Amino acid sequence: MLKRVFSLFFVILFFAFFSCKKEDTGDDFPPTVMTMTPSEGAADVDTSTVIQIKFTEQIILKSNHQIKLNNTVINATVDARTLIIKTTLLPGTNYILNIPANTILDVDGNAADEITLNFTTAKSVTPDGTIYEAENATLSGDASLAGSSAGYSGSGYVNTNAGNVTFTVNIPETGYYDLFFRYLVRNPKNNLLYVDGAMMADIYYPATTVWKELKAGLLKLTAGSHTLSFVKSWGYTELDYARIQKNNSGPVAFNIASAPATPNASAQAVKLYNYLKSSFGTKIISGAMAAHSTNINEAIWIHDNAGKWPAFTFFDFIDHTNLNQNWVKYNDPFTLGQEWWNNNGVVGFSWHWRDPLTKSGSFNTSETSFDVTKVTDTSSAEYKAMIVDIDVIAGYLKQFKEANIPVIWRPLHEAEGGWFWWGAKGAEPCKALWRLLFDRLVNHHGLNNLIWVWTTSASDNAANWYPGDEYVDVLGMDIYPGSNQHGSQYISFNKVREFTGGKKMITLSECGSVPDPAVMLEYGDTWSWFMPWNGDYTRSDSHNGAAWWQKFFSYDYVVTRDMMPSLK
C-alpha cells in the first residue's frame, strides 16, 4: 500500500514540475507582411488614406528608424501586429514607401527584410474639374522643379525655362473639355500647346505678378489617356498646374450674319459673301499668296506641281503708296486679278502699310516712330498722311469695283501683336483707324465691293481689339504651327468663334503648314479658306510642298478654281 502511494506521489510531482517549466517556442522566423493598405501598385488612392502594414505576428519598431516616403523620413507607430503611418498625401502623386531591413522586429528579436510599397494618389477632383500638378508631370529640356514663388498648389511648381512640361491625363468619356493652366510670368509670353504630340495652339500668357489661371482652350478628347504638353515658344514661365473640366455645351453654334457689313453691297460682293457663307463648315477653299505682292507666281507653281489652280489669289498693296517708282508694278494686281476673276477665281488684298509720313519707310514698329494715336487728331500730319494713303489705295480698289469684281479685303492684319505700327499703341487707336478706313472707303469713296477681314488671335485679349460686327465680315487667323505640323487648329478656331458668339465666318488668312482638311472636318475647324505664305511656306516639303498640295486637292471638299461657281 505504501509503495503504491509513493508511486502516485512521484507521478504527480513529475507532471507538476514539467507543467511549471517555461515553454521554449523555438521561433527563428522574422515577421512577414500579411496585408498592405494601400496595396502594392494601387492607383487613385484617396489622399486621406492611412498607410497600414499588417504582419503575421506582433512587431516592435526599431528606435531611430529610417522609414522613408519619397526619400523623406516619416513618423510611424505600432499597434500589435500593425505598422501605422499617418502623413499628408498630395493628389496626383506617385509614392514609394521604403522600410529598410532590420527596422521591424518580432518579440524574439527576429528582423524583417526590406519592404517597399508603391502607389499613386488620385488626382484632385473638384466641382471645377481635375487638377494635374506640374511638379508631377514629365519634364524635358531644362524645365525644373521650384517652390520660391509663394501661393502655388500641391508640393511645388515648375520653371519651364527653355524646356517643356507634359501632363498625362485620363479622360472618362469622349466629349469636350475646357483646359486651364495656372501660371505666373512677369512679362507676357507665348507658348505652344501640343495634344498627343501634335501642335494645337499658340497661347498668349499675359504678364501677372500673382498666380493666375488662364483658359487655354476647348479640347475635343476621346475617352482614355492623352498627353497635353506645354511646349516652349518664348518659354520661361512658372507653371503650377493644368486643370481639365468637362464642358457639356461644346463649341458656340454659328449664326452667321445674313448680309455683308457694307451697306448696299454690290451684287457680286453679295454673291461672294453668300458663297462663303453656304460653303462654310462643309467646304474648305484653297488659296495662294502673291510672292513680292504683285504676281501669281505661287499659284502658277501650285498648278504646275499639283495639277490645279487654287481658288483664291491674294496680292499686297505694300508699295502702292510710294508713288512714281519705276520698279513698282502698280497695275499688275488689277491686270492679273481681272484675268483670275474671269477664270472664276476670287481676288484678295492685304496691305503692309508703310509709314504714311515717309511712304517708303517701314511698317514694322521697331523701324518707325509713326504715331497711330494721331488718328483722332484731324489736324495732325499723321492723320492727313493716313488719309492720303487711304485715298491712293481707294483708287486701285475702284478699278475692281468698276469691273464688277468683288475683293476680299484684309488690311491692318496682326495688329494685336504690336509689331506693326497700326497696333503699336494698343487696341483703341487701332480700332479707330479700322473704322476710319471703313468709313473712308465705303462711305466716302463708295466702295461696296469689299468683303472685310479682321485678323484676330486666340488670346483672352482678342475681343478688346475687335472693331465691331458692323465693320467686319470674316475673322482671320494667322497661324504658323512649325515644320510639318498638319494637325487640327480647332482650339484657336473655337476660341475665336466664342468671343464673337459665332456670328462671323473664320478663315486661316495666313499660315505655314496647312491643317490636313480631313482633320479639319474631324475636329470642326473648317476654315473658310486657307492661305499659306509665299516661298518655302508654299513650296517646301517642310511646310506644304508638292505632295501636300496634291493631297489637299484630292479631297472633294477642298475647292479649287475649276470648282468655283460663277459669281458674276
| Residues annotated catalytic, as ranges | 414, 510
Q: Where are the beta strands (DSSP E) in 233-293?
A: 238-247, 284-289
Burial of 480-510, coded b for 16+ CB within 10 Å and e otherwise, reads bbeebbbbbbbbbbbbbbbbbebebbbbbbb
What lies within 8 Å, CB to CB, of 215 at 6+ separation is 178, 179, 180, 460
- Cα separation, 320 vs 330, whole angstroms: 6
- Cα separation, 561 vs 285, whole angstroms: 9
Return the C-alpha cell found at 381: 500730319
Q: Where are the beta strands (DSSP E) in 233-352?
A: 238-247, 284-289, 312-316, 346-350
- Cα separation, 143 vs 158, whole angstroms: 7
What lies within 8 Å, CB to CB, of 63 at 6+ separation is none
Burial classification of residue 128, based on how many CB atoms lie within 10 Å of its CB (0-12 exposed, 13-18 middle, 19 or more buried): exposed
- Cα separation, 346 vs 559, whole angstroms: 12
Q: How many CA atoms lie within 13 A of 1 on its CB side?
A: 0
CB 480 within 8 A of CB 512: yes
Element (H, E) at 298: helix 297-306
Question: Using omega within 30 degrees of 0 as the cis cutoff, is the peptide bond preceding 38 cis?
Answer: yes
- Cα separation, 125 vs 243, whole angstroms: 10
Query: Which amino acid makes up residue 75?
Result: N
Q: What is the side-by-side strand order in the sheet with 77-79? A: 33-37, 51-55, 82-85, 77-79
If you compute the radius of gyration of the chain from its CA atoms, what whole number of angstroms results?
A: 36
8-state DSSP, 43: E
Burial classification of residue 327, based on how many CB atoms lie within 10 Å of its CB (0-12 exposed, 13-18 middle, 19 or more buried): exposed
Span between the terminal Cα atoms of the chain, in Å: 143
Write phi, then psi, for 66 (nearest 5 degrees): -125, 45
Q: Where are the beta strands (DSSP E) in 291-429?
A: 312-316, 346-350, 407-410
What lies within 8 Å, CB to CB, of 257 at 6+ separation is 469, 473, 503, 504
- Cα separation, 445 vs 455, whole angstroms: 23
